[in-house]
C-alpha cells in the first residue's frame, strides 16, 4: 500500500515539527516539511498531500498573540488552497500553536459556527506557562476521525495561551473532541486538571466533518513507552498519542 503523503507546515518559531514528523513516520506516513513561503511561491503544492499538519511552537515569537501572524498569512495567501484541500476530503491537524493558528484563521470551528472568528485561545488563568502531563477525556460521540476508538489520553501540555473562550452561545455549537479531566476521567474538576481555564474544559475541537481537528496538548510527545514519566515502574504499552496518527493514516488511505 502506498504511504500517505503528509505535509508539516512550518513558519519561523515552529519547534515541534521534528517530533510531529517522527510520530507520523512511526504510524507509517511519508512525511514532508515546508515553510509557508514554499507554498506561497508554489515550490510545493498542498494538493500533493492528503494530510496537512500545523505543529506546535511559537510562530513569529507569538509577538502579537499566539499563532496570529501565521494565521493571517495562511488566511490571506493560502485560504483558497486550504478550502479546496478540505473540500476534497483531506485531513488537517493542528497541535498547540497549530490550534491557535486554525481558530485565528477561522478554519475552525468551521462554517457551521457563525462569525469570522467565533472562538479564540487566550492567556491561561494561572498567569503562567503550563508545562506538564495532563489527562484528557475523549468524546466518543464526536465525528473526529483522529480519535476513533479512543476513550482518553495522558499526554503533555506546554502553552501559555491555551484558554478557549467563545461568544455567547457559541460553545454549545462546538464539536468538542477532547476535554481536560482528572485521572478518573471526570471533567469540571478545575485547576490543575484544567491547566488554562478553558470553557467546558475544552482541550480540542473539530469541524462538522471530523476531518479538521486541533488540540492544545501534544500527542506527538507520547508515541513511545519510554516517553512516559513512569515507564520504568509500570508495564509497557503503546504511547497514548500514537493512535491519533494511526487513525489519521487509516482514514487517509481511503481518500
pLDDT tens digits, residue range 122-173? 999 999 999 999 999 999 999 999 999 999 999 999 999 999 999 889 999 9
DSSP state of 73: H
Asked whether residue 253 carries a pLDDT value surpassing 60, the answer given is yes
Model-level pTM?
A: 0.96
Catalytic position from the list 73, 130, 206, 218: 218
Q: Which residues pair with 54 in a beta bridge?
A: 94
CATH code for the structural domain at 5-252: 3.40.50.880
Catalytic residue flag (residue 220): yes
Catalytic residue flag (residue 218): yes
Catalytic residue flag (residue 96): yes
Catalytic position from the list 16, 96, 144, 206: 96
Tens digit of pLDDT for each residue in 203-242?
999 999 999 999 999 999 999 999 999 999 999 999 999 9
What pLDDT sits at residue 254? 87
Domain ranges of the chain: 5-252
- CB-CB neighbours of 158 under 10 Å: 18
Cα–Cα distances (Å) from 14 to 9, 60, 89, 101, 248, in that order, read 9, 8, 26, 12, 22
What pLDDT sits at residue 2? 78
Amino acid at each position: 500500500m502506498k504511504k500517505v503523503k503528509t505535509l508539516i507546515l512550518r513558519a519561523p518559531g515552529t519547534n515541534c515539527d521534528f517530533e510531529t514528523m517522527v510520530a507520523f513516520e512511526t504510524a507509517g506516513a511519508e512525511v514532508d516539511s515546508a515553510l509557508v513561503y514554499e507554498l506561497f511561491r508554489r515550490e510545493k503544492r498542498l494538493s500533493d498531500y492528503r494530510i496537512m499538519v500545523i505543529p506546535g511552537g511559537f510562530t513569529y515569537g507569538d509577538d502579537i498573540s499566539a499563532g496570529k501572524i501565521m494565521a493571517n498569512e495562511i488566511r490571506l495567501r493560502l485560504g483558497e488552497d486550504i478550502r479546496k484541500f478540505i473540500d476534497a476530503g483531506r485531513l488537517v491537524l493542528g497541535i498547540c500553536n497549530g490550534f491557535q493558528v486554525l481558530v485565528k484563521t477561522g478554519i475552525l470551528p468551521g462554517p457551521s459556527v457563525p462569525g469570522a472568528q467565533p472562538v479564540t485561545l487566550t492567556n491561561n488563568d494561572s498567569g503562567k506557562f503550563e508545562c506538564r502531563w495532563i489527562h484528557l477525556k475523549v468524546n466518543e460521540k464526536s465525528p473526529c476521525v483522529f480519535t476513533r476508538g479512543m476513550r482518553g489520553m495522558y499526554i503533555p501540555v506546554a502553552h501559555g495561551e491555551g484558554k478557549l473562550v467563545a461568544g455567547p452561545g457559541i460553545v454549545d455549537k462546538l464539536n468538542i473532541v477532547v476535554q481536560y479531566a482528572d485521572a478518573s476521567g471526570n471533567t469540571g474538576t478545575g485547576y490543575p486538571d484544567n491547566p488554562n481555564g478553558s470553557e467546558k474544559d475544552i482541550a480540542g475541537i473539530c469541524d462538522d466533518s471530523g476531518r479538521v481537528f486541533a488540540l492544545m496538548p501534544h500527542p506527538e510527545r507520547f508515541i513511545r513507552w519510554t516517553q512516559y514519566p513512569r515507564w520504568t515502574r509500570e508495564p509497557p504499552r503503546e504511547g497514548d498519542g500514537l493512535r491519533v496518527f494511526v487513525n489519521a493514516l487509516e482514514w487517509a488511505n481511503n481518500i
